Structure 1
Amino acid sequence: MRFFNYLAMAIAFAAVSCTLDKTDYEAEIGLEIPETYEFKEAVSLNSGNFKISIEALNGTFYKGYNELHLKIVNTQTNQNITTSEVTFLPILTNADESKSSCPHQYNMQFDAVNKYFSGYSVFTNESTSWKLYISFTVDNQKYEISKDVSVVKQDNKNLNMTAFTGKDGEQYFIALVTPQKPKVAENALTAGIYKYNKPTAAAGTFPDPSQFSYSAVTGYTLKLDPRMPEPSMGNHSSPNNKDLTQQTDGLYHGVVNYTMTGNWTLNLILLNQNGLILKGTVVPTDFTPGIEGVKSELYIDTLF
């Protein structure tokens, strides 16, 4: 009988606390989640008779994952160029004047249906010191141009990212791609997982792409344990979540079940193709009302 009394008290405490937290949360952000589904021109460049336009969601480059659409137009004929070889290289100048990059698709692919070159960039820093280096080839002539751009804060925490060094000594990046606006339900969860490819030779002429190479990891598994870590929530989890595995689009897909709005932490464990843990720890299953929940050493916070 004592056990059932304790259980009833715990449930009542959680219910009251959740209500209070939810009220505070609604007052704080008004349940407004920034979401953008329209691609607009974020930057344009000109070289000779050609205009290059790069489109991103909301016409803005955000920290984290950015899907990119690149169009090349002959300004004399007003015709789209569809047969070019296009390369894309983002470079960040750091405070000490050193150069770095971020996960990106160097060789952009032409989308014959939508008539643009598609790619992505996972910008790792909010900064005005990014520069895009673009090259394209038309009629056997290669054009190379660059443009300074700014990367701004991602206000939607459902699109957060994290960077870390794995137990294998490699540098990894995990960026959330979807959902932009979760529901209180089982949500399809998509993430990109990338690794920095360490150069195998000395640098050539700047910007040498071999010094700034990244790739999507292949055949990994991202184990998922979502929790509400705030003290009033007791670090409780939810049922029916599915670990993320790689699909044909190169991204990693799984399911996260949000049982209520509020602060959530996606506790993660990254395993390589051999099942070895590269980063992350198991989260205790204890219900801990009044105590902030323990997080994995690898996690991403979300809020909706």
Structure 2
Amino acid sequence: MKSLIYGIIALFVVTSCTIDKTDYNAEIGSEVPDNYEFKEAVSFTSGNYKISIDALNGTFYKGYNELHLKIVNTQNNQEISTSAVTFLPIMSNADGSKSSCPHEYNVAYDSANKYYSGYSVFTGESTTTASWKLYISFTVDNQAYEINKDISVEKQSNKNLNMTAFTGKDDEQYIIALISPQKPTVSENPLVAGVYKYNKPTTPAGAFPDPSQFSYSEVAGYTLKLDPRMPEASMGNHSSPNNKDLTQQDDGLYHGVVNYTMTGNWTLNLIMMNQNGLILKGTVVPTDFTPGVEGVKSELYIDTLF
């Protein structure tokens, strides 16, 4: 249990730290990848059943991943639509500590699209010292099946799909992951993000992998105040008009508007407020126009580029 807790703490320490001064010139002109097609990212079998998971570009990326899962009876090639399916991603570190990430644990069947629909917000890339494994269970004809599979999580090269992890002033651990737009335009862009909180275990760990020790939930009723800026020195940290703060909608995600007035590096400066209007993370960004000086960022921010 101690190794689990230390692993989670280490994750948030690493992902919350800010990197050294950004080399904006090196990023100018970099191509924003288009990942619009869902392809099979992994497949495996259990008994007479094949399980396949589709993701954008057939790849699991650090950050938000929409996932489509299918179960097929290999004896008659029939797809299973009535099974109870669970999905649990777990990252293991070289020291034996384990942690998870925001995910859809009970995966529901989408009858219109004919797949089980879920998501996973992978909080780190696969490395020689950190590996990811999926733990999946399903039940068919009252027969339970459990299977696990090693997977590879790749670096997200599209900064418009960046994420951040941090501890709020309430001592809770949060993750914000950008979902849309994947490829912005010079205009007012609908902005969508997922906001998640780690559910601290209230009971001792059971048999591994005990989902109660790796649980996350969508944050309900918060507000993300938005102040986008172009932070590089040549841009003077200027902002743009007609932006809208992010609030939660019926799909559980947070929706707002970001107005990009030109291509280039942008920083989404954020202030996260709970249901009572209390600030849990984030600071106001100075309004001064500062040509020649790299712009000040909120203590809560996500960089983007297009």
TM-score, normalised with respect to structure 1: 0.90
Q: Offset of 1:30 from its aligned partner?
A: 3.8
- Structure 1's 225 and 261: CA in aligned 2 closer, same or farther, altered over 3 A? same
Q: Offset of 1:27 from its aligned partner?
A: 8.8
- The 5-angstrom pairing of residues 145-184 of structure 1 reads 145-184=147-186
Aligned equivalent of 2:48: 49
| Other structure's SS at 2:237 match | coil
Q: CA offsets, 1:128-179, max 9 Å, x none?
A: 5100000000001110000000101000000000000000000000000000
Structure 2 contact 85–138 (Cα < 8 Å) conserved: yes
Aligned equivalent of 2:236: 234
What is the alpha-carbon distance in structure 1 between the residues aligned to residue 164 and residue 25 of structure 2?
26
State which structure, 1 or 2, has the greater radius of gyration over its C-alpha atoms. 1
What is the alpha-carbon distance in structure 2 between the residues aligned to residue 298 and residue 218 of structure 1?
19
Aligned equivalent of 2:91: 92
Q: Offset of 1:32 from its aligned partner?
A: 2.1
Q: Offset of 1:95 from its aligned partner?
A: 2.5
What is the alpha-carbon distance in structure 2 between the residues aligned to residue 277 and residue 95 of structure 1?
36
Aligned partner letter, 1:68: L
What is the alpha-carbon distance in structure 2 between the residues aligned to residue 167 and residue 174 of structure 1?
15
Aligned partner letter, 2:99: S
| Other structure's SS at 1:169 match | coil
Structure 1 ranges of 4+ moved more than 4 A: 24-29
Q: CA offsets, 1:207-254, max 9 Å, x none?
A: 000000001000010010000011111100000000000111111000
| Other structure's SS at 1:297 match | coil
Aligned partner letter, 1:272: N
What is the alpha-carbon distance in structure 2 between the residues aligned to residue 243 and residue 95 of structure 1?
40
| Other structure's SS at 1:158 match | helix
What is the alpha-carbon distance in structure 2 between the residues aligned to residue 151 and residue 180 of structure 1?
18
The answer as to 2:125 corresponding to 1:123 is no
Q: Offset of 1:274 from its aligned partner?
A: 1.1
Structure 2 contact 28–264 (Cα < 8 Å) conserved: no
Q: Offset of 1:28 from its aligned partner?
A: 5.7
| Other structure's SS at 1:67 match | strand
| Other structure's SS at 1:210 match | helix
Q: CA offsets, 1:88-129, max 9 Å, x none?
A: 000000121111000001000110011100000000000151
The answer as to 2:304 corresponding to 1:302 is yes
Aligned equivalent of 1:274: 276
| Other structure's SS at 1:285 match | coil
- Structure 1's 59 and 223: CA in aligned 2 closer, same or farther, altered over 3 A? same
Q: State the aligned residue count.
A: 281
TM-score, normalised with respect to structure 2: 0.90
What is the alpha-carbon distance in structure 2 between the residues aligned to residue 30 and residue 295 of structure 1?
23
- Structure 1's 68 and 81: CA in aligned 2 closer, same or farther, altered over 3 A? same
| Other structure's SS at 1:162 match | strand
Aligned partner letter, 1:224: L
Identity %: 83
Aligned equivalent of 2:81: 82
| Other structure's SS at 1:232 match | helix
Q: Offset of 1:204 from its aligned partner?
A: 0.2
Aligned equivalent of 1:64: 63
Aligned equivalent of 2:195: 193
What is the alpha-carbon distance in structure 1 between the residues aligned to residue 112 and residue 210 of structure 2?
32
Aligned equivalent of 2:110: 111
Aligned partner letter, 2:185: K
Aligned partner letter, 1:56: A
| Other structure's SS at 2:94 match | coil
Structure 2 contact 48–73 (Cα < 8 Å) conserved: yes
Aligned partner letter, 2:65: N
- The 5-angstrom pairing of residues 9-24 of structure 1 reads none
Aligned equivalent of 2:204: 202
Aligned equivalent of 2:289: 287
- Structure 1's 112 and 141: CA in aligned 2 closer, same or farther, altered over 3 A? same
What is the alpha-carbon distance in structure 1 between the residues aligned to residue 39 and residue 25 of structure 2?
31
